[in-house]
Structure formats: C-alpha cells, structure tokens
Amino acid sequence: MPVSKARRGIGYIKGIMKNVRNVKKSEFKAFFDDLNSADCIILVGEGRSQSALYIGMGQMDNEVRTMVDIDFPGRDIVEAAPVLEKKYDRIALLVNSGSGETSTPKIVIKQLSDYIEREKSDKFTIDAVVSNTNSSIGKIREKEYGNVVELKGRERKPNTTNAFLKHGIMNDVYELGSLLLFQKTKEAINEKKDYKAVFKKIEAESNVIGEFMDSFVSSDSYKHIIDKLETRSRITMGGLGPARNAAKMSAIRLQHVKRAIGDEVYLSGPFAPRPRAGDILFLISWSGETEPVLGWCREQKKAGGYVYSIVGNESTLSRELDSRIIESSPTTFYERATFALSPLPLHLVERLHQRGFRLPEYIMEWWEHSVTQ
C-alpha cells in the first residue's frame, strides 16, 4: 500500500520519504563511513531533534554516549576530549539540528573544533544532519574533520513577529525524516553492511510505515482516541528507556495543541500529576511486560482514566487495555511507535476545526501546511 494516502491525513509521510530518499549519496557516504569506523559515538541535539537522534541511534552495537550520561568523562566536551582520546581510536560527535542553529549543538561543535585544531587531534570527527548546509552547524563541512548531510523538511522561520517564534512549529517532516535516517544507519552498521544498504532499508520501511499507519488511522480505536483527545483532559505519555524518547517526542507535539485549548501534556514519572477520572495515558512498551509501565496503567485505570498502549507483542499490557500491536524487533519498534503517534495532533486540530473551535493562528497555519504539502 503506498505511503501517499493523504485522504486519511497522513500525506506528510510522502514528504518525509521523499526528503530521505533525496539525501545526496556522496554526502551520506562520508558521514556513514565516519560513524561506521567510530569506536565511540557521542550524540548531541535538543528537543525533538535530540529524541529522534536518541531513538534512531539507540540499541547500537558500537558504543554510544551522551553528554548527560552519569559516567561521561567531563562536565563538557573540552574536559572529556583528552579522556576519550586515551580510551578510543576514533570518536564521532553526531549532531542532529533541523535549523542548524540550535544553541547547545553549536556550542559543543565550537568547543570540539577548537580542541581538535589546538591539539592537532586526528581522532575526532564531527558529523551532522541539518536542513540547511549554510547554517552555522552546516558550515562544519568546510573542515577536514567535518561531514554534513542535508535533509530537507525544516521550514524556514517566518518573520520575528510571527507566533511560530514564540510557540514553535511542529516540524514533523524533518524530525521524523531524521529519525528514519538514523534508524536505518544504525541497522546497516549493526549488520556490517555499507551505506547503500541504508537506502534499501528506507525503501522497504517506507512501505511498512505506510501500511500500518493507514490501517491505524482508519481503525475504530483511533477514532475513539481522537474522541478522547478533544475532551477537557490532561494527557500523560509514558515509557522507559528508548520508549521514553518516543513518548517525549509525541508529548511535545501534542502539548502545542492541548495547551492552546487549556489542557496540559506530561511525561510519566515523578513530575506527572496523579491521575484523575477523564485523564488520558498513552503507554509505549515493546514487551508490554515492564513492571513500572504496568503500574502506571493500573493506577490510571483505578482512578477512572483512559489508557491506550502501543506495544510490540501480545502481552499483559495489550490484554489489559485497548492497544495497537506493532510487530517488529525491539530495535525497530520505537521508530515505528513514534511514526504511529505522529498524526494525533494533526487529527485533533482537524476535529476541533470541524467543531468550530477557534485555535491560535500559528496552529492553524501549521495544520493547513501539513494537510496541503
């Protein structure tokens, strides 16, 4: 089944696949070779770009670190670099930034570039995915140790008075595209294949994503989810490990719409509110057997809340509540779960619009762009 079925509100998937397919192979080969030869890959990003990077590169056979790891050898990359050089032969700093201007990645790249040039180190590479190679981060391609892949999909910012600058635009096309690119890069490296395998995997995955998303958004249970989302309710997204990054990506996107109508979206954990009747909980779990996740489910149900889960197996979680089973390996599950949840804000806006509910202009501009692109 083709991925271009816009009639059910997932036409943006076609744009994602087109952008990933159009990545320049010459750019990507050098980028892939750096990651493939690295003994250690350090991940850097912010917001949903960070979550896409963490999901895509998680469960990798090579050693993967983040700068917030409790055992990261330094308060910043400057402190860590000499320690990393002693421990590893090849270290890749891997950056995801749609705009190419994100503050934390810019700072880390500048610090590591200064270190490489000052110490004349040949052990580091800086590899980035951006939507604009002329951005601050994109310009690292001019360095001998820098490789940049351009992935389209990030909208240019409107003028400074536009509300997008205050609230943010939901750049689903870039964020999901980068997630897919990282996911298939990881799989190819784990399987000891070359860079060409990444694009073969993307082609195969595009068909899988198109089929399960089309089936999901056409289901009665999906309609029931949208019915619940339009009610006055708090939403909590829950998961542990890689599932937490998928939950975080989805929570950020839903927050834009729910906050505009007076509600809030949270991540499960100590800072989430205690559940009450009418609240909504989404759970993501490949096994469907993780004890803390089952605990959140039972607490929510006991309080009279609604619970829906995305799982990878027939399991305790799928048997206890309404669930969508995405049959896949644990390595692929979190990418597919993120795609599955991605249309929720779009369809919620569509439903509210049909009801005549007045939404902020910046949300309506985003929605109209999403359904026409």
Quick check: 2 pLDDT over 80?
Answer: no
Whole-number pLDDT of residue 369: 62
Sign of the alpha-carbon torsion through 306, 307, 308, 314:
negative
CA atoms of 164 and 362, how far apart (whole Å):
6
45-61 burial, b at 16+ Cβ within 10 Å, e below that, comes to bbbbbbbbbbbbbbbbe
What average pLDDT does the segment 305-322 reach? 94
- Give 9's pLDDT tier (boundaries 50, 70, 90): low
- Give 368's pLDDT tier (boundaries 50, 70, 90): low
Q: The pTM is what? A: 0.91
Same domain, yes or no: 280 and 191: no
Dump pLDDT digits (tens) for 160-198: 334 433 334 455 789 999 999 999 999 999 999 999 999
CATH, residue 317: 3.40.50.10490
Lowest mean pLDDT of 47-61, 183-197, 219-233, 347-361, name the range: 347-361
* DSSP-assigned letters across all residues of 43-84: EEE-HHHHHHHHHHHTT-SSEEEETTSTT-SSSSHHHHHHHH
Last residue of a domain, one of 152, 177, 209: 209
Same domain, yes or no: 154 and 281: no
Element (H, E) at 146: strand 146-150
CA atoms of 297 and 2, how far apart (whole Å):
35
Average pLDDT, rounded, for the chain = 90
**Structure-token match 């990645």, residue found:** 105
Quick check: 121 pLDDT over 70?
Answer: yes
Same domain, yes or no: 127 and 237: no
Residue 214 lies in a domain: no
Same domain, yes or no: 169 and 225: no
Whole-number pLDDT of residue 153: 84
Structurally, the chain folds into a number of domains equal to: 2
Whole-number pLDDT of residue 361: 79
**φ, ψ at 151 (rounded to 5°):** -120, 115
* DSSP-assigned letters across all residues of 226-276: HHHHTSS--EEEE-STHHHHHHHHHHHHHHHHHHHTT--EEESSTTSPPP-
Dump pLDDT digits (tens) for 124-164: 999 999 999 999 999 999 999 999 999 998 765 443 334 43
Same domain, yes or no: 50 and 177: yes
Query: In a 3-state reduction of DSSP, which class is residue 283?
Result: strand
Element (H, E) at 304: none
Whole-number pLDDT of residue 16: 92
Same domain, yes or no: 18 and 152: yes
Whole-number pLDDT of residue 370: 62
Residue 260 lies in a domain: yes
- Higher confidence at residue 198 or residue 47? 198
Same domain, yes or no: 173 and 269: no
Whole-number pLDDT of residue 167: 38
Quick check: 1 pLDDT over 80?
Answer: no
Same domain, yes or no: 152 and 266: no
